[in-house]
Structure 1
Amino acid sequence: MKFASFLASHAATMGGKDAVVCGTERLSFAELDKQTTRLAQALRDQANVTPGQRVAIYLPNSVAFVRAFIAVIKAGGIAVPVNLPLSVPEVAHILSDCAPQAVFISEATRVNFARAAEAGPHILSIACGPGCEADLRQDELLDAGEPRAPLDIPFDADACMVGYTSGTTGRAKGVVLTQSNYAFVNGYLNGWHWHLTSNDRHLCTTPLAHRTGMARLMNMILHGSTLVVMPRFDASEAARLVREERITVLGMVPTVGRMMLQEVEARPEDFASLRVALVTGEAFPLVVKRRLCDALPHVRFYSFYAMTEAGAIAWLDSDEQFTHPDSVGRVWPGVDVKLVGDTGEQVRVGQVGEIWVRSGEPGCFSTMREYFHRPEDTAKTLRNGWVATGDMGRFDEGGYLYLMDRKKDMVLSGGYNIYSKEVEQAIQTHPAVRDAAVIGVPDHLFGEAVAAYVELDDGAHLDAQGVIDHCRERIASYKKPKYVFFVPALPRNSTGKVMKTQLRELYHSETTAA
C-alpha cells in the first residue's frame, strides 16, 4: 500500500496544507487521507470491492475524482479512469473489457454510462455530486465508512490502475500500471529532473483520466505538493489560477501551450510564481515554444517523450530546447532504449528503427506490467522485458533521440519509407499553416501516396500547389504530398493528439463519393 503510506506521512507532517484544489473545493492532506480511508472501507463493506477488482471512475475533473481514485487503491482495488470525451461505444468497450465491480459517476456522465452499460451485466453505480441517481452515493459512503484502512490486501498486490490507450491506431487496450511504476517515474524521475518538493503547487490543465493529468496527481501523492485541478481548460482561467494559487509547475500538452500563448504574452507578470513548465503529448511547434520562452525567461521548459505502456522514455532539458529542437531528448536514467530493424537486429546510430524500451522487470519500474486480459497482445508488445513501442526513431552521435513516426503510420511509396512526421514538420514551417497531419493512402502505381490534411491560420490563404512546392524545397521530392486537403480543424482526441483514423475515414468517404 505504497500510496497510502505516502499520504499518511503527509497527513502527519503537514496535515493542514492544501492537497487538492478544484473550483471552490479544497481538501487538506489530513482531510484527504481521512476521507479516502473511510471511503476505502465503505467500498469494501458496501460495494463489495475486494483486492484486484476493477472500479471505473467516470467523473469530470474534480475533488471527487481524486478522492475516488485514492480510495479504490486503498481498498485494494484497481482504478479504471474513463475519459469524458469518449463516445458511448468506446465507454461500452472499456466496461466490457475490464468488467468493473463498481463505477463512480456524476450527473455529467450518468446518461452515457447507462447507455454504455445497458447491454452488459449490472455494474454498481456510485453517485458523486447532486442530481445524480445511482445505487450508492459517495457522500453517504464517506459517512458510513470507518476510519481504518483495510489490512488484508496481499503484500504483492501492486497493480493500481488500468489505463486505456487513446485508440489513435486501433481498439483501446487496457494497460496495467502499478504503484511501483508511478513511484519510479513520478516520484523518483520527475523529482530528480525537475527538483520537485512539497513546496510546489501544480496546475493540471488536462483530464485527470489521461496520463498527463494522472502524472500531476501522482506528483501530489508522492511529493506532498499541492494539486490545483481545472474542471475544464480555459486559457484566461488558467492564467488567473497561476497568479492567485501561486502555481510553480504547469503541466500541458502542446495544444494548451498554443492556447495559453496569448495570455502569457499579454500578462507575463501573472506567471511570476511559475518555475517549471512541462510539455508532452505531441511535437511542440518551435515557434510557440520560442515565444513562450521569450515571454517567461525565468521559467524552465522541459519536454519529454512518454507513452502509457513504456512510461517516461526521453527528455529535453530547458537548455536543449533550441539546440536540439527536433529531438525528443536523451534517454531517462534507469531506462534502456534500443532501435530495432525489420529483421530484429539493432540498427546503427543514424539509422531508423522501432523504439524498444526496457526498465527492469515489467511493472516494477517504468514499463507496464501487461495488457489487461490480453496475453497475445502482451506477448507482441513485451519482448523479453522490452516494450516494442511501435514508434520509429533514430539516434544521433550525441545520444539524442529523434521520433520519426508511428510504425503503422509509415508510408511505403515506390519502395521508399516515408515518415509522416518529417513531412508534417516541413508543412508546419509554412507561415500560413497552423498545423498539419499526414497519412498514407492507396496509390495504384506506387502502392501508397502521401496525403496531407492542413489547418490554416485565421485569415491565411494557401492552395495545394503552394503546400507541395513548399515541401519540395525542404524534403526529398518523393516525400512531398500527392494530395492536399484543407480542413477547418484537425480531429483531435481529448489530449490534443490528431486522430489519424478519422482522417483515413474522411479520405475513404470522400474518394468513394467522388
Structure 2
Amino acid sequence: MSPILAAMDRDFNLIADLVRLQAQHRPERPALVDATRELSWGALDALMDRIATSLQRDGLQAGDAIAICAASSVTYAALFLGALRAGVAVAPLAPGSTAASLARMIDDAEARILFVDAAAAELIAAAGDGAIPRIALDGSAAGADFDAWLAPAEARPAAVALQSTSPFNIIYSSGTTGEPKGIVQGHGMRWAHVRRGAKYGYGPDTVTLLSTPLYANTTLVVFFPTIAYGGCVVLMPKFDAAGYLKLAQHHRVTHTMLVPVQYQRLMAHPDFDTFDLSSFHAKFSTSAPFNAALKADVLKRWPGGLIEFYGMTEGGGTCILEAHLHPTKLHTVGRPAEGSDIRLIDDAGREVARGEAGEVVGHSAGMMVGYHRQPERTREAEWFDPDGKRFIRTGDVGRFDEDGFLVLFDRKKDMIISGGFNIYPSDLEAVLRGHAAVADVAVVGVPSVQWGETPVAFVVRHAGDDTSAEALLQWTHAQVGKTQRLARLQYIDELPRSAIGKVLKRELRERDAR
C-alpha cells in the first residue's frame, strides 16, 4: 500500500500532513488555482511551512486562533492550511458581515492576527481600534504586506502534537446582534469528512470547482477532501452562472459544491446545454432546501452523480441522498450516512415511535467540540439518549419513510436560509426594535425564486409615528449585513398571537402570500 493510501486508511490523521505526502510524490502537479495564480503541491507545501513558521515566530501556539476576512483565493487557501500545520485554529469570517458583528466575532475567537484583502478594508477599518495585527493578503493598504510577513524560503516550523479534539476551525453561524455563536470543529470532525470522501471518487485526478466562499462550512466539506486526496481545487471568488460554466468546461471539472439557488441559476442559463460538462463525476449540494423538481432537472441535463448532504455545521448525524441512484426519493434528504445515528425526538426529549414526526438529532464521529466560550448554548444544542450517548439537535422536524429516507417538514427554529446563507429572524427583529418607530415586530421567511427564501418584516408602529415603511427598510439595511437584508417591510396593526402570546408566524407567511 502506498504511503498516501496508508495515511488515508487511519482512523485519525492530519490534513496538513497529507499535503506533505502529496508534495513528496507529485510536487509539480497543480493543487490550487484561481483567476490569477496557480500553486503546485510542492509550492503549496513550502508556503504552508513559511506560514506556520511565521505564526510560531509571532508567538502563536497550538490551540490559538487567527481570523481571515477575505474573498476566496489561492493565498487564502494556503494560509488556512498553513495555520493548521502550526496547530492554529482558523476563524474564517464573512466579508458581508457588519463591522460591529465582525468585531464581536474577532473578539469571541480571541484571534491573535487578522488577515484581510482590499475588498474588506473599509469594513475592517470600522471594526475596531486596530489593536489586533492586520495583514493584507493582496498587498493592499488594509494591513501589513503578506509576503513581507512570511518567514524566509526553506523555513520549517516546529512540530506540534494535535488530537482529534484539537480545534481546527471556528465557524460563525450568525448574527448582527447579541453574542456571536462560534462553532468549534475539531481535527477529528474534519478527518471524518475526508474519510467519507472515498465513496465519491476523490483522488489525484479530481478537479473541484468551488464558487461558494471559504468561510462557509458548505465549501469546506468539499475543499478539504479534495486536498487530502491530492486533487486540484479551482477557486471562483464570486459566482455567476456564465463564468462558472466556462470554468467548468475549461478545467474539465469532476467535482463541485453548489447551494440550490446556484443550481437554479445554472439550469436557467440560456446556454447551459451548449457547455461540455461530461467530465463531472459528482455534484454536491447542502445548506438549504433543494426542490425535487430542480433535482430532477439537474439529473436530466447535467452529467455525473448528484449528492445532497443534510446536516449542520455543528455536526452530529448526516443524511445523504444520492439522487442519481434514488430518483423516486427526490422529495427526501436521503438516509443516514454510514456511522451516523439519526433519531427523532418529541418536545419532551423522548424518541418518537417509528413513522411519527419529531425533531431530528444526530450522532457521528463528526461533531463540534462545542460553541466557543458558550457552554450553556452548547448544552442547549445537545441531547443525550438514556445510555448517555451525545447527539446534536438540529431544530428541524422530520419523519422517516418506510424505506428509511428522511422527509423534512419544517424548521422547528425559524431560521431562514437565503441563497445558502443562514438568517436568524431574532437578529433582524432585534435590529428593528432599536428604531424608535417600532413597537412590535416579527420576521418570517417567504419563498423566493431568486434566493430560495427571503426575509420579510411585519412591523407594528408606535401610535402617532409617521415613519414610512421605505425609510424604515433603508434604515434596517444600513444596520445589517448584505445577506440579511429584508425583501419587504410591511406595517401591520397587530401581530397574530396564540393564547399564550406566541407570534403565529405561519399566519404571517400566509398573509404575505395573498
| TM-score relative to the length of structure 2 | 0.77
Return the match for 1:215 from 205, 213, 221: 221
Is 1:372 matched with 2:372? yes
State the alpha-carbon separation in 1 of the partners of residues 156 and 170 from structure 2: 26
* Distance across 2 between alignment mates of 1:95 and 1:450: 27
Residue 239 of structure 1 deviates from its aligned partner by: 0.7
- Partners of 1:309 and 1:409 lie apart in 2 by 17
User: Which residue, out of 143, 148, 152, partners 1:144?
Assistant: 152
Correspondent of 2:72 among 61, 65, 76: 61
Instruction: Return the offset for 1:229.
Output: 0.5
The answer to whether 1:402 aligns with 2:407 is yes
Q: CA deviation at 1:169?
A: 11
Quick one: which amino acid aligns to residue 346 of structure 1?
A: E
Query: Is residue 348 of structure 2 the alignment partner of residue 309 of structure 1?
Result: no
Distance 1:321-1:282 versus aligned 2 partners, 3 A rule:
farther
**Structure 1 residue 201 corresponds to structure 2 residue 207:** yes
1:288 counterpart letter in structure 2: L
How many angstroms apart in 2 are the aligned matches of 1:116 and 1:168?
Answer: 13
Relative to structure 1, is the Cα distance of residues 59 and 4 closer, same or farther in structure 2, using a 3 angstrom cutoff? same
1:281-360 aligned within 5 A: 281-296=287-302, 298-310=303-315, 313-320=318-325, 322-359=327-364
Kindly indicate whether the alpha-carbon contact (under 8 Å) linking 1:101 and 1:124 is maintained by their aligned counterparts in 2: yes
Among candidates 142, 159, 164, match of residue 167 of structure 2: 159
In the comparison of the two structures, how many residue pairs are matched?
434
The alignment partner of 1:339 has SS state of: strand
Give the corresponding residue for 1:33: 45
Tell me if the contact between 1:102 and 1:125 (Cα under 8 Å) persists in the aligned partners. Answer: yes
Shift in Å, 1:81 = 0.2
- The answer on whether the counterparts of 2:98 and 2:176 sit within 8 Å (CA) in structure 1 is no
Q: Give the unaligned 5+ runs of structure 1.
A: 360-364, 411-419, 422-436, 442-447, 458-486
Aligned counterparts of 2:442 and 2:54: Cα–Cα separation in 1: 58
**1:445 match:** none
The CA distance in 1 between the partners of 2:282 and 2:179, in whole Å, is: 35
Look up the equivalent residue of 2:377 and give its one-letter code.
Answer: D
Instruction: Give the CA deviation at 1:449.
Output: 12
- State the match for 2:124 in structure 1: 113
Partner of 2:100: 89
SS at match of 2:150: helix
- The residue correspondences of 1:170-189 to structure 2 (distance < 5 A) are 172-185=180-193, 187-189=194-196
Whole-angstrom distance in 1 between the partners of 2:48 and 2:32? 13
Aligned with 1:191 (options 195, 198, 213):
198
Asked if the contact 1:183–1:222 (Cα under 8 Å) also holds between the matched residues in 2, the reply is no
Q: How does 1:409-424 map to 2 (within 5 A)?
A: 409=414
1:345-380 deviation digits (Å, cap 9, x = unpaired): 100122111111112xxxxx2111111111111111
Answer whether contact 2:86 2:157 (CA < 8 A) is retained.
Answer: yes
Identity %: 26
Match in the other structure for 1:124: 133
Look up the equivalent residue of 2:281 and give its one-letter code. Answer: R
Tell me if structure 2 keeps the 8 A contact 1:349–1:397. no
Alpha-carbon deviation of 1:101?
A: 0.5
1:130 alignment partner AA: G
The residue matched to 1:319 in structure 2 has which SS?
A: coil
C-alpha displacement of 1:288? 2.3
1:235 aligns with 2:241: yes
Q: Aligned letter for 1:41?
A: T
State the 1:150 CA deviation: 1.8
Amino acid in structure 1 at the alignment position of 2:140: G
1:48-106 superposed Cα distances (whole Å, 9 cap, x missing partner): 21221110011111111101111111122110000111122221221121121101111
Instruction: Identify the residue that residue 100 of structure 1 maps to in structure 2.
Output: 111
Q: Which deviates the most, 388-397 or 18-27?
A: 388-397
2: distance between equivalents of 1:348 and 1:265? Answer: 49
**Residues 100, 127 of structure 2: 8 Å contact kept:** yes
Matched-pair contact (CA < 8 Å) for 1:55–1:79? yes
- Which residue number in structure 2 is paired with residue 431 of structure 1? none
Distance 2:215 2:305 in 1: 26
The whole-number CA distance in structure 2 between the counterparts of 1:317 and 1:73 is 31
Question: CA–CA distance in 1 between the matches of 2:401 and 2:442?
Answer: 28
Distance in 1 (CA, whole Å) between partners of 2:299 and 2:142 is 48
- Matched-pair contact (CA < 8 Å) for 2:80–2:90: yes
Residues in 2 aligned to 1:511 and 1:311: alpha-carbon distance in whole angstroms: 42
For 2:492 and 2:71, the matched residues in 1 are separated by: 35
Q: 1:268 to 1:183 in 2, by over 3 A?
A: farther
Q: Cα deviation per residue 1:21-58 (whole Å; 9 max; x = unaligned)? A: 0102000111001101111101111x321221110011
Equivalent position to 2:266, from 249, 260, 269: 260
Across the aligned residues of Structure 1 and Structure 2, the Cα RMSD in angstroms comes to 3.4
Partners of 2:64 and 2:286 lie apart in 1 by 31
Change beyond 3 A, Cα 1:156–1:403: closer
Where 1:267 maps in the other structure, the secondary structure is helix
1:12 paired with 2:24, answer yes
Per-residue Cα deviation, 1:218-252 (whole angstroms, up to 9, x for no partner): 02321111100002111111111111111011210
Distance 1:34 1:234 in 2: 33
Distance 1:76 1:94 in 2: 20
Q: Give the conservation status (yes or no) of the 8 Å contact 1:41–1:145.
A: no
